[in-house]
Structure 1
C-alpha cells in the first residue's frame, strides 16, 4: 500500500485493504490537480504532492538548491493543505517563500517577477466549495501541464518513494506582492487617459477582491463592489463567468445603476469577462481582438495566439492590425506553452484567459487587461456597446456538449461529410465552409464531444448547428 495512506480508512474515505488501493489518478488533469476535499484531495496527498513536486523540480532544473513559492486561495481547506505541501517540500530540502492568500495571477507574478524557481498554489479555481487542488509552475510561471509534468508527478505520488535529504528547507513569508503586482500593472498603461467610469465588479466571493481593491485605489473610477467577501463556499453564485447565468446579478446591477460597464471574475481571478453598459456579456473573442490590437500597436507584426474554438473576429482584428495569428489547442497551459515557442506578444482563450508577454514571463495579468480596456474605451469617446457593436459580425453557437458512445465514430462521420473542408486536426477537427465554420473536439475524461459553430448570420448558424448535431448524434 502507498505509505502515506497506510493509516486509518477515513483519510481517504474509500474502501481499501492491504492488497487493494484505488489511487485517485483521475484528479491529475490536463492543467492542474483537482478533486473533492476529504476523499480525493487530503492532507496526506498534499504532503506527497509537496515531496513529488520537490523531486520533479530538482530533476527538471538539474539542481537541488531551489526556492519555490507557495500560496493558497480562500477555501477553508486550503490552509491545512498548504501546510502539508510546505512540509513535503521542506523535508525534501526545498526553501519555501509563502506569499499567503493570493489569486492565481498574483501567484504567477510572485514566481516570475522575483525570479523564483517555480511554485505551487492550493486552489480549485472556479470549482464548487467542496473541491480543492493544486496548480504548479516552473520559473517564469511557465505552466506544468499534463503533457509537461503533471502525469510524471502523479506517477511519483503513486509510487510514494522519496529520498532522504540531509538538509531541511527553510520557510519565510513575503508580504506586499499584491501591491507590487498592481504597481507593475500601473506602470504598463497611461492611466492619465482613463475617464472616471462607474465600474461594477462581481468578484464571486473569490480571490480577485484583493487585487481589485488595490487597483481601483489608483484610478479615477468609481468601484461598485459585488460579492467581495472571500468565501470558498461561493454563497451567491458559481464563480464561473463563462456560464452566462452566473452573470445575471452583475448584468442587472450594471443596468440598474447606469454603470459604464462591469467586470466578472472567476474564483481564482485568472479569467475575466466584461459586461457592456446595456447589461450584455461581451464576447471574449471581441475582447481578445481589442487587446491584440493594443499589443500590435506596441509590437507591429507580432504573433498572436488563440484557441481552436471559433472566434473569427479575433483573426480579423489581428490581420487588420498587421499581426500574425496562430491557432493553439484549448487550455490555458497549452496556449501558454505554444505562445512561448512562437514568441507571441499576446494570446487569448475563448474561456476568458488573456495572456500578456512581460520581460519576466507570459501569463494572465487581469489588472493590466482591465487598465487597457479602460484606456481603449476612454480614448474612443464611446460607450462599451457603441465600441463593440461593429465587431459583433458573427453569430456564435456557444459550446454545445454531446454525450456519445463512440467519439472516434463521430469524427469519422464528420470527416466523411466535410472532409474537404478540414482546416486543423491537432485539437479535435475544425472545418471552414465559407459562410460558416465549426470545431468539434473530445473531452479528455468523458464520452463527450463539444461543438462550437460560427456563421455570418444568426439563422444560418442555427440551421447548421442542427445539421452538425444530427451528424454527431448519428440521427
Structure 2
C-alpha cells in the first residue's frame, strides 16, 4: 500500500485530511498497530482504548481505526470524546494493553492524526514503533483474525480522569477566585468544566463549545495572537487568573491578574517546588530549551534537575527511567508520575497553582515576579537548506562556550546561553536565546540569527 511516509513523525501520525489522512489509511493503521503489539505479546488477548477529539472527521477516523483493530482480533474500549490527558488516563485506569487517540493536537482544522501508546500510557514514538507501523502498512503485513475483537463503550472517562488529577493534587484549600478560561473550542473545556464543579470560583468561559473548525482562533496558546482575547478579558473583568488550553487539551498556559502570560519556565519551576515538598530531594525533568530559572528553582527547593530532549515521548521516557516526580516543557506540557503512568496533568497543574496562590496569599503576578530574572528571546523559527551544516557552523563559531548536543546544539556562557535544534514536526530549526539582561540577549540573538539566515 502506498502511503505518505512523511506523516509518520517523531511523536505521532499527522497529516492533511482527505489527501493524506483517510478512513482507509486509518483502518490500515489500526491493523498495523494490532500487529505491532501482537508481536510484542504473542499469544496474549489484547485490548486497546480508542478515543477522539472534536474535529469534524475524528468520529469517522475513529470508526475506521476501530474496524481495523477489531478485525485483527483485538478488543476495543471506545472511550468516545476525550482530551488527550484523559485518553492517557484511560489506558492505565482500564488496564488496556495499548491505545489510540485521534487528534491533530494544536494544528488547524485541515489536519488530523493518531497518537499511540502501549500499556501504562507509554508513548509509541518514531523510534519505538511509529516507523514500524508505517512499514507494516506499506507491506500490508496484516493479520485477519477468525473472530473479531469485542467492543465496549466506556462513558465515564472524562469525569474519572478529572477526579484522579484533582485528587492527586492534594487537599490544600483554594480561595474563591475569578477565572477566565479559553478552550479555543477544543477539548480543554471538558476537563475545565469538571474542575469548575469542584472548586470555589467564578468562571468566565471563552470559546467553549466544541468546534473543530476553530472559528475564533487557532488552538495554539503558545502563539501570542491566540491569547490576546484571553489577556484582554482577564483585565476587563478584573479576574485573578486566565487559563488557555490547546486543541486536544494536553498543553496549558496561564495569564496573571495583570494580563501577562506566565512564562512556562517559571511555571514549571513553581510546580517542581510544590512537588519537591511532597518528595524531598526528588528528580525533576525539563527540556533543553532555555529557561534557566527552572534549574534555579529546582535547586533552591533541594531537588535534582535533569535536562531532557524536547518532545513529550522523550520526556516521559526519561522520567520513567530516573523515577522523576515531575517534568515540564517550555511548550506547555507538564507531566506527573501518576500511580497509573507518566503523562500530562493539566488539572493537577491548575489545582496546584490555585492552591499555591491561596497558601501564599498572593496574586499570580506577585507569585511569579521574583523569578523574572532572565531575558528570553522566545522561540524563533528558521528555514535552512541543511540543518546539520547549520549546527556544525554554530559549534565552530561558539567553540569557546560549553557545548551540549543532547538535542540540537546548546551553547552556554556565563552571561548567555542558547539552543538551536531541528523541529521534530516541521522543516525548521528553532532558536531560543536567554541572557542575564535584555541587552546581552538582543546582541547574542542577532549574532546567532546572522548565522542561521546565511544558511
- Residue 281 of structure 2 aligns with which residue? 301
1:427 shift after superposition: 0.8
- Residue 79 of structure 1 aligns with which residue? 59
* Matches of 1:311 and 1:351, distance apart in 2: 11
Candidates 377, 389, 395, aligned match of 1:415: 395
- Residue 185 of structure 1 aligns with which residue? 165
- Residue 337 of structure 1 aligns with which residue? 317
Provide closer, same or farther for how the CA distance between residues 105 and 142 of structure 1 changes in structure 2, counting only shifts above 3 A: same
What are the within-5 Å matches in structure 2 for residues 197-216 of structure 1?
197-216=177-196
- Residue 34 of structure 2 aligns with which residue? 54
1:460 shift after superposition: 1.1
- Residue 219 of structure 1 aligns with which residue? 199
- Residue 219 of structure 2 aligns with which residue? 239
For residues 350-409 of structure 1, give each alpha carbon's deviation from its aligned partner in whole angstroms, at most 9, with x where no partner exists: 100000001110000111111001001111111111111110000100111122223222
Higher mean alpha-carbon deviation, 57-66 vs 250-259, is at: 57-66
Higher mean alpha-carbon deviation, 465-474 vs 382-391, is at: 465-474
Does structure 2 retain, via aligned residues, the 8 Å contact 1:303–1:324? yes
* Matches of 2:242 and 2:17, distance apart in 1: 33
Candidates 270, 291, 310, aligned match of 1:290: 270
Does structure 1 retain, via aligned residues, the 8 Å contact 2:8–2:134? yes
- Residue 11 of structure 1 aligns with which residue? none
- Residue 93 of structure 2 aligns with which residue? 113
SS at match of 2:285: strand
- Residue 371 of structure 1 aligns with which residue? 351
- Residue 13 of structure 1 aligns with which residue? none
* Matches of 2:453 and 2:199, distance apart in 1: 51
1:118 shift after superposition: 1.2
Candidates 149, 153, 162, aligned match of 2:142: 162
- Residue 244 of structure 2 aligns with which residue? 264
Candidates 300, 303, 316, aligned match of 2:296: 316
Candidates 327, 352, 361, aligned match of 1:381: 361
Does structure 2 retain, via aligned residues, the 8 Å contact 1:413–1:472? no
SS at match of 1:419: coil
Does structure 2 retain, via aligned residues, the 8 Å contact 1:91–1:165? yes
Does structure 2 retain, via aligned residues, the 8 Å contact 1:52–1:157? yes
SS at match of 2:356: helix
1:446 shift after superposition: 5.5
SS at match of 2:62: helix
* Matches of 2:54 and 2:429, distance apart in 1: 33
* Matches of 1:400 and 1:474, distance apart in 2: 15
Work out whether 1:349 is the aligned partner of 2:335.
Answer: no
* Matches of 1:105 and 1:447, distance apart in 2: 27
Does structure 1 retain, via aligned residues, the 8 Å contact 2:421–2:429? yes
Candidates 358, 367, 380, aligned match of 2:338: 358
Candidates 115, 124, 142, aligned match of 2:104: 124
Consecutive unaligned residues of structure 1, counting only runs of 5 or more, are 3-20
Consecutive unaligned residues of structure 2, counting only runs of 5 or more, are none
For residues 244-301 of structure 1, give each alpha carbon's deviation from its aligned partner in whole angstroms, at most 9, with x where no partner exists: 1100010000000000010000000000000011111100001100000111111111
* Matches of 1:311 and 1:284, distance apart in 2: 8
SS at match of 2:198: coil
Work out whether 1:255 is the aligned partner of 2:248.
Answer: no
SS at match of 2:88: helix
What are the within-5 Å matches in structure 2 for residues 455-470 of structure 1?
455-470=435-450
1:448 shift after superposition: 2.8
SS at match of 1:282: coil
Higher mean alpha-carbon deviation, 335-344 vs 225-234, is at: 335-344
Work out whether 1:42 is the aligned partner of 2:22.
Answer: yes
How many residues are aligned here? 455
